[in-house]
Amino acid sequence: MASGVVILSNSLSFYQKRIVMSSRMQEKNGGASIPHVLSVAGSDSGAGAGIQADLKACAARGVYCSTVITSVTAQNTVGVQAVHAVPEDFVAQQLKSVLSDMQVDVVKTGMLPSVGVVKVLLQSLTEFSVRALVVDPVMVSTSGDVLAGPSILSTFREELLPMANIVTPNIKEASALLGGIRLETVADMRNAAELLHALGPRNVLVKGGDLPDSLDAVDIFFNGEHFYELRSSRIKTRNTHGTGCTLASCIAAELAKGSPMLTAVRVAKRYVETALEYSKDILIGNGIQGPFDHLLRLKSGSHSFHRKDAFNPSDLFLYAVTDSGMNKKWGRSTVDAVAAAIQGGATIVQLRDKDAGTKDFLETAKSCLAVCRSHGVPLLINDRVDVALASDADGVHVGQSDMPATVARTLLGPEKIIGVSCKTIEQAQQAWIGSADYIGCGGVYSTNTKANNPTIGLDGLKTVCSASKLPVVAIGGINASNAGTVMEMGVPNLKGVAIVSALFDRENVLAETKKLHALLMEASSSSSSSSSKIQ
């Protein structure tokens, strides 16, 4: 290429040309591109939701955020006192100003107050391509009032949703988009997600924060092929204003950084849960619904924030531990076995291979990590901190005779997940002091893989769980005949069960994982119902 002239092939898309031009400009100026989200939404004078929440959420996720304001509101923690819509031609000018100059990766929408504004946005997106469109259909107030009339609902359904990479309605918004159907159960949410997907968006996330009689915050993600039930602790607080805007903005931010869709959704849900927990007792305003603190990272220290952000205890629910010997016995690769387990509902994977050399183990880890990342499922390496580092796995699980958790934390850093096998209260205490994220408690039952390993039984598990300061996954000899019994105990801190033989020493890993997932869901529901009756 002579004289620094940029030659662009006519076969390149408009966006590909922009990427090449941007790259050349960055090289010329000695700069580097950072992920960029454009928020097209309303302004909240109370700064808990809308544009203000989007700016703070993207900043917290390390992403640049530009804005196009569609409406200006006078609102506080008491409610919305006035709304002033920005003229459509001025919205168009804002869009052109940003999109024609700045390399936007993802557009996130919030309040779109008129059919005209929706059409202006759609026109801009045909002129200036972006990687993804995240649609948060802000059309129902906290009190349940529909803020968008039939015409804008029709435009959403017919024109905006088919353009979206993901749409993120709460149950009231999903109901409005689907003509007022009732959404009262998780099954209703799954049905709504499927119906919304039929309208054209590539992915749907129906948020169940307002689901009645639910002990957890349950969201349903549907990508057209698989449903994912995402659960987190329900934080009891008045400071929930802006959670929907924030979740959608976090998804946009993670997509801008290059994350797969399900991973982006999982990270966003964890961030909102962490921020709610941190902010549950702050007092801003006199109304019934206050804002939460998006920038807890600046106040709580990067170490503790990253640790909570990187690990969600709910991921321990169905903890699949691979066994290379069992997979060889059934004539399949470890990678294929991991993929089948994830498709069946495994929520976290531990890669274990005692016989493989370092080179082979590392290659297997990298291949398994690609599968796990594409589904948003964490991958941990058994014992081998060196392999976890070299493969950039999500973390490591160590035993009592392996590297201490404190050393593993020093090597891996604050963002990785560390689990420790424990049998006693003292070992659990040391794991907590050593900055572990969770403990694996057992063996609960005898197992063929560790025949000489003493068991602690259900009573031992209950004792350690009750005393632990960390979330617990039960390990050792757990299968379809006893997993329900373990989960139905409902003891504090017990988040899931680790399964080896009952998954991987079987001909059909997918079918066995599905069966165990359904069994655990039923047992957890039974345990939750019993707990609620006691309370």
* pLDDT above 70 as % of the chain: 86
| Rounded alpha-carbon distances, angstroms, from residue 144 to 138, 139, 140, 147, 209 | 11, 9, 6, 9, 13
Q: Is residue 203 part of a domain?
A: yes
Nearest to 318 by CA among 118, 493, 517: 517
Q: Is 280 in the same domain as 210?
A: yes
Among 310, 330, 361, the domain boundary falls at 310
Q: Read off the pLDDT band of 193 (50, 70, 90).
A: very high
Among 291, 310, 329, the domain boundary falls at 310
* pLDDT digits 0-9 by tens, 197-222: 999 999 999 999 878 767 778 999 99
Is 245 one of the catalytic residues? Answer: yes
* pLDDT digits 0-9 by tens, 353-369: 888 899 999 999 999 99
Q: Is 444 in the same domain as 301?
A: no
What b/e readout covers 264-297, taking b as 16+ CB neighbours within 10 angstroms? bbbbbbbbbbbbbbbbeeeebbeeebbbbbbebb
* pLDDT digits 0-9 by tens, 111-131: 999 999 999 999 999 999 899
Could you say which of 67, 73, 109, 243 is catalytic?
A: 243
What is the predicted pLDDT for the residue at 288? 87
Nearest to 112 by CA among 136, 142, 78, 144: 136
Q: Read off the pLDDT band of 526 (50, 70, 90).
A: low
Q: Is 273 in the same domain as 341?
A: no
Residue 471 contacts residue 505 (beta carbons within 8 Å): no
Is 469 one of the catalytic residues? Answer: no
What is the predicted pLDDT for the residue at 140? 58
What's the rounded mean pLDDT across residues 305-323? 77
Contacts of 212 (CB under 8 A, 6+ apart): 184
Torsion of CA 138, 189, 292, 83, to 10 degrees: 20
What is the predicted pLDDT for the residue at 310? 57
What's the rounded mean pLDDT across residues 280-285? 88
pLDDT at 263 over 90: no
pLDDT at 466 over 50: yes
What's the rounded mean pLDDT across residues 250-268? 89
The residue with tokens 């069966």 is: 515
Could you say which of 208, 244, 376, 476 is catalytic?
A: 244
* pLDDT digits 0-9 by tens, 375-411: 889 999 999 999 999 999 999 999 999 888 888 887 8
Is 207 one of the catalytic residues? Answer: yes
Q: Read off the pLDDT band of 240 (50, 70, 90).
A: confident
Of the spans 76-85, 274-283, 436-445, which averages the highest pLDDT?
436-445
Domain that holds residue 359: 313-534
Q: Is 223 in the same domain as 319?
A: no
Is 495 one of the catalytic residues? Answer: no
Q: Read off the pLDDT band of 50 (50, 70, 90).
A: very high
Q: Is residue 396 part of a domain?
A: yes
Q: Is residue 438 part of a domain?
A: yes
Q: Is 504 in the same domain as 376?
A: yes
pLDDT at 192 over 70: yes
Beta partners for 497?
Answer: 318, 474
pLDDT at 293 over 90: no
Q: Which of 46-60, 181-195, 401-415 has the lowest mean pLDDT?
A: 401-415
| Rounded alpha-carbon distances, angstroms, from residue 132 to 110, 261, 332, 341, 504 | 15, 10, 36, 29, 37
Could you say which of 109, 155, 240, 447 is catalytic?
A: 240
pLDDT at 307 over 50: no
Q: Is residue 25 part of a domain?
A: no
Q: Is 263 in the same domain as 327?
A: no
Q: Is residue 11 part of a domain?
A: no
Among 288, 310, 332, the domain boundary falls at 310
What is the predicted pLDDT for the residue at 364? 96
Q: Is 286 in the same domain as 375?
A: no
pLDDT at 15 over 50: no
Torsion of CA 304, 307, 308, 313, to 10 degrees: -140
Could you say which of 207, 269, 308, 495 is catalytic?
A: 207
Is 243 one of the catalytic residues? Answer: yes
Residue 439 contacts residue 428 (beta carbons within 8 Å): yes
Domain count, the chain: 2
User: Where residue 185 sits, what CATH number does that domain have?
Assistant: 3.40.1190.20
Q: Is 389 in the same domain as 306?
A: no
What is the predicted pLDDT for the residue at 365? 96
CA distance 523 to 483: 8
What is the predicted pLDDT for the residue at 147? 56
CA distance 188 to 204: 14
Residue 230 contacts residue 219 (beta carbons within 8 Å): yes
What is the predicted pLDDT for the residue at 266? 85
Q: Is residue 507 part of a domain?
A: yes
Q: Is 155 in the same domain as 304?
A: yes
* pLDDT digits 0-9 by tens, 137-174: 987 555 444 456 677 889 999 999 999 999 999 999 99
Average model confidence (pLDDT) across the chain: 85
Could you say which of 58, 65, 245, 250 is catalytic?
A: 245
Is 376 one of the catalytic residues? Answer: no
Q: Is residue 18 part of a domain?
A: no
Q: Is 302 in the same domain as 350?
A: no
Pairwise pLDDT comparison (292 vs 170), residue with the higher score: 170
* pLDDT digits 0-9 by tens, 488-506: 988 889 999 999 999 999 9
Q: Is residue 157 part of a domain?
A: yes
What is the predicted pLDDT for the residue at 411? 86
Q: Is 62 in the same domain as 107?
A: yes
User: Where residue 326 sits, what CATH number does that domain have?
Assistant: 3.20.20.70
Pairwise pLDDT comparison (8 vs 251), residue with the higher score: 251
Q: Is 150 in the same domain as 224?
A: yes
